[in-house]
């Protein structure tokens, strides 16, 4: 997209500029004719005239890069890697996730009841790593189809006694499409029929060549059930994340993605959000997909209430009006009024989309110079 001035928008809508300025004022936005207006305001104004602005649903896969691109390099600091575990059925994804958490959650934190919020963080040598506790395929397919890129590193679990199976290949394809580095966890090394060489051989056919064989793919042999090789795996994750130079700006309004969400009888809409940039605070006005609200309370992966959550942190949030969907993006706004406006406009748009009775224009059409 480009930029659009108030006057430009008036022209596109075939209205008087003064009329648009007045409309903007009723939305609490003071603007002059030659001033650029943001996409949300454009959307709201168009809404007023019954012109629907199509959100570019096909959001860039590198949405995250977009968020980051807006930051000055000097504002960016290192952030934890977000890791997803993928692999064929029964190859040990859940067991691996459990053993990493049990091995690496520090003694001081062990007292807390680990709560299932769809993601957890560990700390290793002073550096955190975030693990998404959702089925890897879901994390890639549903989220990617919605334009969200949440994973920095994919762990591909392959059982050493079973080798490469259909879902292993599927996982490889997802990770490759997302251009995410892959670390191979050759699991079940304790089993009698374990044959890591065969796994390596089979993966070579998918351009995943081990370093020992002149390639660049990291292979770690482990036994998730015996908790052997977990340290090696974590070390490799740290290594890869260093190479990736993952960064974010903690000093701005938070944005990120919904990991999972549900309706809780007592607490209402409960959503696990992964903060990808900025810092999320209790009390923040927030738009999440087509819903909005104000962050009422936040709970971390250890079940503790927290007031803030920085980049790469998963938190369970209450205070949203409705239940969003996994993969929905969220953004914090400076004031609640704006969040409400954007949220309501999106809801309205969704309702009307179902009715299909609106004139449609795309933002790109609007931005296109006459
Ligand atoms: P789905 O979620 O169903 O796709 O399976 P998964 O990949 O999460 O596998 P899960 O962790 O549930 O493990 C499947 C079975 O393999 C269980 O019976 C585990 O106990 C067993 N298993 C997992 N890791 C190991 C291992 O390192 N060694 C051995 N011997 N068994 C393991
Ligand atoms: Mg599982």
SS (H, E, C) 238-265: HHHHHHHCCEECCCCECEEEEEEEEEEC
Q: Give the residue, out of 99, 224, 228, with the most ligand 1 atoms within 8 A of its beta carbon, to mutate for a pocket test.
A: 224
Q: Give the least confident one: 38-52, 101-115, 120-134, 147-161.
A: 101-115
pLDDT band at 136 (very low <50, low <70, confident <90, very high): low
Q: How confident is the model at residue 143 (pLDDT cuts 50, 70, 90)?
A: low
- Mean pLDDT across 171-197: 93
In this predicted structure, what is the pLDDT of residue 70?
A: 73
pLDDT of 281 reads 98
Nearest CA owner, ligand 1 atom 26? 188
Q: With bands split at pLDDT 50, 70 and 90, how would you rate the model's confidence at 158? A: very high
Mean pLDDT of 15-41: 86
CB neighbour burial string for 202-222, b if at least 16 within 10 angstroms, e if fewer: bbeebebbbeeeeeebbbbbb
What values do phi and psi take at 318, rounded to 5?
A: -115, 160
Confidence of residue 118 (pLDDT cuts 50, 70, 90): confident
Note the pLDDT of residue 179.
86
In this prediction, residue 341 carries a pLDDT of 83
- Model pTM score: 0.77
Distance CA 217, CA 200 (A): 10
User: H or E stretch including 10?
Assistant: helix 6-13
> Is the CB–ligand 1 distance for residue 325 below 6 Å?
no
Return d(Cα 185, Cα 92) in angstroms, integer.
10
pLDDT value at residue 145: 58
- Does residue 146 surpass a pLDDT of 70? no
Q: What is the ipTM of this complex?
A: 0.99
Is the pLDDT at 271 greater than 70? The verdict is yes
Length of the chain measured in residues: 370
For residue 212, the SS3 value is helix
Average pLDDT, the chain: 85
The whole-angstrom distance between residue 326's C-alpha and the CA centroid of its chain comes to 9
Distance CA 184, CA 199 (A): 10
Query: How many Å apart are CA 198 and CA 220, to the nearest integer?
Result: 14
Any ligand 1 atom below 6 A from CB of 92: yes
pLDDT at residue 331 tops 50: yes
Binding residues for GTP, by number, are 87-94, 133-137, 187-190
Give CA–CA dist 209/32, Å, rounded: 59
Q: Is 165 in the pocket of ligand 1 (CB under 6 A)?
A: no
Instruction: Name the most confidently modeled range: 28-37, 67-76, 110-119, 210-219.
Output: 210-219
The confidence score (pLDDT) of residue 63 equals 37
Question: Would you say residue 77 has pLDDT above 70?
Answer: yes
> Does residue 361 register a pLDDT over 80?
no
**Atom 23 in ligand 1: residue holding the nearest Cα:** 92
Q: How far apart are CA 56 and CA 49, in angstroms?
A: 20
Instruction: Check residue 115 and give its pLDDT.
Output: 59
> Looking up tokens 């996982």, which residue turns up?
171
Pick from 94, 102, 199 the residue to mutate for probing ligand 1's pocket: most ligand atoms within 8 Å of its CB: 94
Nearest residue (by CA) to ligand 1, atom 21, is 92
Q: What is the pLDDT of residue 252?
A: 93
- From ligand 2's centre to the CA of 320, what distance in Å? 29
Q: Reply yes or no on whether the pLDDT at 26 is more than 70.
A: yes
Q: How does pLDDT run across 287-320, given as a tens digit for each residue?
A: 998 899 999 999 999 889 999 999 999 999 999 9
pLDDT recorded at residue 37: 85
Task: For ligand 1, say whether the CB of 188 is within 6 Å of any of its atoms.
Answer: yes
């Amino acid at each position: 997209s480009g930029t659009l001035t108030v006057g430009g928008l008036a022209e596109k809508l075939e209205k008087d500029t003064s009329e648009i300025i007045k409309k903007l004022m009723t939305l609490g936005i003071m603007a002059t004719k030659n001033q650029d207006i943001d996409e949300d305001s454009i959307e709201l104004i168009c809404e007023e005239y019954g012109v629907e602005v199509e959100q570019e649903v096909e959001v860039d896969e590198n949405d995250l890069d977009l968020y980051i691109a807006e930051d000055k390099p000097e504002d960016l600091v290192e952030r934890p890697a977000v890791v997803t575990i993928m692999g064929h059925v029964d190859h040990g994804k859940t067991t691996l996730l459990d053993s990493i958490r049990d091995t690496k959650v520090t003694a001081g934190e062990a007292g807390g009841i680990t709560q299932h919020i769809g993601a957890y963080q560990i700390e290793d040598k002073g550096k955190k790593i975030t693990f998404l506790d959702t089925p890897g395929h879901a994390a890639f397919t549903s989220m990617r189809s919605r334009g969200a890129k949440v994973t920095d590193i994919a762990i591909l679990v392959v059982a050493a006694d079973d080798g490469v199976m259909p879902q292993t290949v599927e996982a490889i394809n997802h990770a490759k499409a997302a251009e995410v580095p892959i670390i191979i966890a050759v699991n079940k090394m304790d089993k009698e029929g374990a044959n890591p060489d065969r796994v390596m051989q089979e993966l070579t056919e998918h351009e995943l060549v081990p370093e020992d064989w002149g390639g660049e793919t990291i292979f770690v042999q482990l036994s998730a059930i015996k908790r052997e090789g977990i340290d090696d795996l974590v070390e490799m994750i740290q290594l890869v994340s260093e190479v990736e130079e993952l960064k974010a700006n903690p000093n701005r309004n938070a944005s990120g993605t919904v990991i999972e969400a549900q309706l809780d009888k007592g607490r209402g809409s409960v959503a696990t959000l992964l903060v990808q940039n900025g810092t999320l605070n209790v009390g923040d006005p927030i738009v999440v997909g087509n819903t909005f609200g104000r962050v009422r309370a936040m709970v971390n992966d250890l079940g503790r209430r927290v007031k803030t959550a920085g980049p790469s942190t998963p938190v369970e949030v209450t205070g949203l009006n409705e239940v969003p969907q996994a993969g929905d993006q969220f953004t914090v706004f400076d004031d609640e009024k704006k969040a409400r406006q954007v949220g309501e406009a999106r809801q309205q748009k969704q309702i009307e989309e179902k009715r299909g009775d609106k004139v449609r224009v795309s933002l790109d059409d609007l931005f296109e110079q006459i």
